[in-house]
Amino acid sequence: MTEISGERADLLHLFADERKNFAITLRGLSDEQARAKATVSDLTLGGLTKHLAATQWHWCLVITEPDENAELDLESGMSQYYMAEDDTLAGLVVDFDDAAAFVDRVIKETPDLEATVPLPTAPWAPEREWWSVRRILLHILREVSHHAGHADLIRETLDGGSTTRALAEEAGMTF
């Protein structure tokens, strides 16, 4: 196996770091807590987990199975923000982890990060756009990072949990 270095190693490291931050917000939660709306927003930790899994799957499929006729499915896109009654946090985390592994494989195995692929059209982007694999990967990273911040605020509102505090405690700091 070839050692991963340079830009690809940097991407893998950044993804792992942001996923860890997100995962900290889920530690020790019940399904009920994962469904809880802790702010005026509809965002929940379970919903964010489901969304981030779907986001990673979707964008990797855009890269690995390019489709010049694809259109964004808005209906399924909106449902991914909500933890359904039959969803469990444990199941959503497995899907999130599987999707994360898919992203990592794409980073490691895509021959050319400069290669361009067609994006699905959407109401806000009716003309087909083509993005580089690199840009799509950075978009996925932005999504994970953005929602890790949301998740941290939701968790802090739920029970005072804090990613920063958890990381500090892991590093041996005491409060």
Domain at 140, CATH number: 1.20.120.450
pLDDT of residue 175: 78
Q: How many domains does the chain have?
A: 1
Domain assignment present for residue 130? The answer is yes
Can you tell me the mean pLDDT for 39-60? 95
> What pLDDT digit, counting tens, does each position of 81-91 carry?
999 999 999 99
Domain assignment present for residue 6? The answer is no
The SS3 of residue 132 is: strand
Rounded to two decimals, the pTM is 0.92
Domain assignment present for residue 16? The answer is yes
Please check the confidence at residue 1 and state whether its pLDDT lies above 70: no
What domain range is 64 assigned to?
A: 11-168
Average pLDDT taken over every residue of the chain: 94
Domain assignment present for residue 68? The answer is yes
Distance, in Å, from the CA atom of 118 to the CA atom of 65, rounded to the nearest integer, reads 10
Domain assignment present for residue 117? The answer is yes
Domain assignment present for residue 2? The answer is no
